[in-house]
Amino acid sequence: MKKILLCISLLIGISGILINNAPEVENNEEIDEKRSIFISYIELNKYLNNKDSSSAKISIKEIVNNIYELGFNEIIVQVRSFSDAIYKSEVFPWSRYISSSEGVDPGYDALEEFIKEASRKNISVIAWINPYRIRNTEDISDISHKSPAYTYLESDVVYINNGIYFNPSKDEVVNLIVKGVEEIVKNYKVDGILFDDYFYPDNEIDMKDYDEYLKDNEYISKNEYNLNVVSQMIKKVHDVCEKYGVDFGVSPDGNMENNYNKVFADVKRWCGSSGYIDFIMPQVYYGFNNESKAFKKVIEEWESIILDDSVKLRVALAFYKNGSIDKWAKSGSDEWILNDDIIMREIILSRNLNGYQGFSLFRYDYIFNEENYTEMTVNEIENMKKVLN
């Protein structure tokens, strides 16, 4: 009898674990779901760098076709990663990631080619921009004289410390960002503009500007000042995108606290009222068993801050973690090496969110480049396909 009771108890316990970890039932309501894949400067460098025009165009066609064949309908292409451009620009120099060096014409327009190939497959194109970053290192030697960053190197418009960045509080920088976005939405048939999660590199970048601000204005904290600076820029970019009928979104850190304490992205303001963004794409790069940031809890937190119906929710998912140890997940660190259906379950769960518009995967090379495959990759892809029909 004791053995029977023990077995029953174990079954109940196991059932409870399965129920708690299982995603909710997928909505049956028909939605126009955006299924996106990020194509970063890393992919551009790998597949396009130093290639002649014909070879590069073939690579772009293959990238778009791979994404189409997998059942996705949108690409997010990093058109500006370091104050540069993968398209013909009067504002920024040609990117070193598609050419021999920054400022050198590669002989073709990569963005135009992505748009052309995507349109043949009825795939949307989002132009992904890092607004403030110039370099990841402090080395200025390879910054092209054609770059707007070069003009400001000896001024406080540019900040050099563990990288090179534009100073967000400067009017010249805001105008540059807005002008760069307008150039894209005016000249290219993109479906959206997306900023990523890199805003303030640190809290010291504009201390002088903050001190000047306090001389003529009521006191606000440095954090409030930074949040306002970024939000004012975001609003101006949205206005330009709206003028040309193009959606504007931001893909912030999935950790809500980091947005307010590190990079100063006021995501609650942007999601709580109209006029800032059309969609939010938080990088919810967590598993279900993450001890401090469990996936379900995090997406519900993001859902809760969207108070304006005009703002849609898209969820960025961490395909790159497939088959690897998640060192920040603490007790859940081995989840991605023990399970091959995490992405599938995260898609299903996300579809139940209010205001849900779609999901995205970071990033292309982890899905299509077998050199990056783990033992779990193929199974993860096959399981994901089950919910893409």
Q: Following DSSP, what letter does each residue of 31-71 receive, concatenated?
A: ---EEEEEE-HHHHHHHTTT--HHHHHHHHHHHHHHHHHTT
CA trace torsion 38, 40, 45, 46 (10° rounding) = -40
At residue 113, the pLDDT reads: 98
Using an 8 Å Cβ cutoff, are 311 and 335 in contact? no
| Pairing state between β 158-160 and 164-166 | antiparallel
pLDDT digits (tens, 9 = 90+) for 177-195: 999 999 999 999 999 999 9
Which of the 8 DSSP states describes residue 155?
A: S
Domains of the chain: 31-132+170-385 (3.20.20.80)
CA trace torsion 325, 331, 335, 337 (10° rounding) = 40
Using an 8 Å Cβ cutoff, are 201 and 136 in contact? no
pLDDT digits (tens, 9 = 90+) for 3-19: 333 333 333 343 333 33
pLDDT under 70: residue ranges of the chain: 1-31
User: Who contacts 184 (Cβ-Cβ below 8 Å, separation ≥6)?
Assistant: 79, 87, 111, 127, 190, 193
Burial annotation 201-229 (CB, 10 A radius, 16+ → b, else e): bebebbeebbeebeeeeeeeebeebbbbb
Reported as type and span, the H/E element at residue 129 is strand 124-129
At residue 388, the pLDDT reads: 96
What angle is formed at CA 59 by the lines to CA 53 and CA 65, rounded to 5 degrees?
135
Rounded CA separation 210/42 (Å): 35
3-class DSSP assignment, residue 124 = strand
At residue 16, the pLDDT reads: 39
Reported as type and span, the H/E element at residue 335 is helix 335-338
Considering the entire predicted model, what is its pTM? 0.92
Element counts in the chain: helices (H) and strands (E): 15, 11
At residue 7, the pLDDT reads: 39
At residue 94, the pLDDT reads: 98
At residue 246, the pLDDT reads: 98
